[in-house]
Structure 1
Amino acid sequence: MFIWKKSCSAINQIEVNPLNAQVKAQENMKKYGVKMEAWAPFGERRNGLFENEVLINIGKKYSKSSAQVMLRWLIERGVIIACKSTHIERMEENFNVFDFKLTDEDMKEINKLNTQNSLFFYHQDPKMVEWFDEIVKSRRDNEDCRKDKKNW
């Protein structure tokens, strides 16, 4: 995307969470002035992120939940966050992350959780690439899609 275009997206929304930190992707984006936005910052509740002992123990130091620790970790990395919740108490909790800072040691401990693997699918799987290509084509060809507003 960066190499062939004279301009590129300002924000790239990709899966980013402690188990899939996307460190190399963030370095590449930074090189081209693109900001990373975390899709699935909590891993969609997969792989026990909310119950992870590292995150819980760090949270105890600051009287914060594991979710708040994950959000703070993203903020301190400069990652844009888009959280979704239908529960008022969780929305409030998600906003209550600006009254503490993680130490360098906290950041290192969270970074050790990185498996460099998606919690959802393997992006190099040819079947997955074909599936994604079909989704893009179907949306592009959809009669309801405002083609005049999109540069397909």
Structure 2
Amino acid sequence: MTKTAHHSATLQVRQALWALQKEVLNSLKEQFDREVGYQAAPTEWFQVLMTAERYMWLRELTSLMADIDILTELEHIAEEDAGVARAEIEKLLIDHVEEGFGKQYRDLLMSGAGLLPLHSQLKAHLQQLPETKMEKHQTVHHRKNWQETHRQQSRKKRN
């Protein structure tokens, strides 16, 4: 398997993203536990995360993380793909849109939770990826291509 120069940087971004998501979920669980007055069991918390309307905003992050996972499993990460990964993460987590995910994330970031150091670490790792100026429909197309390329690679390995 050949790895590109962007592979290592993309893996570092992936690890920083996973650490950030873990802290987001821990912070949300702590809030939930305070609200309900007891420490929810992992199965109960998982059920709440999957079904409660108030946590639907997390789906954007989960979707992006799944795509970044797929990208890092590819044999070749082109500069353009690494740039798309950076743009998508920045759009979701750095640019702080005032609605949907951006608002929820910014509020959590400012709540005093332990997210700020992990957020800063992610930003630092993102600087190692190239920048790209693509429209939304182009980045969505790239993310779908990562999935298709991943499927093709998986088929080749099985045969």
Greater fraction of residues in helix: 2
Higher strand share goes to which structure? 1
Q: Bigger radius of gyration, 1 or 2?
A: 1
The verdict on a shared fold, with TM-score over 0.5 as the criterion, is no
> Could you state the TM-score of these two structures normalised by the residue count of structure 1?
0.29
| Structure with larger RCO (C-alpha < 8 A, sep 6+) | 2
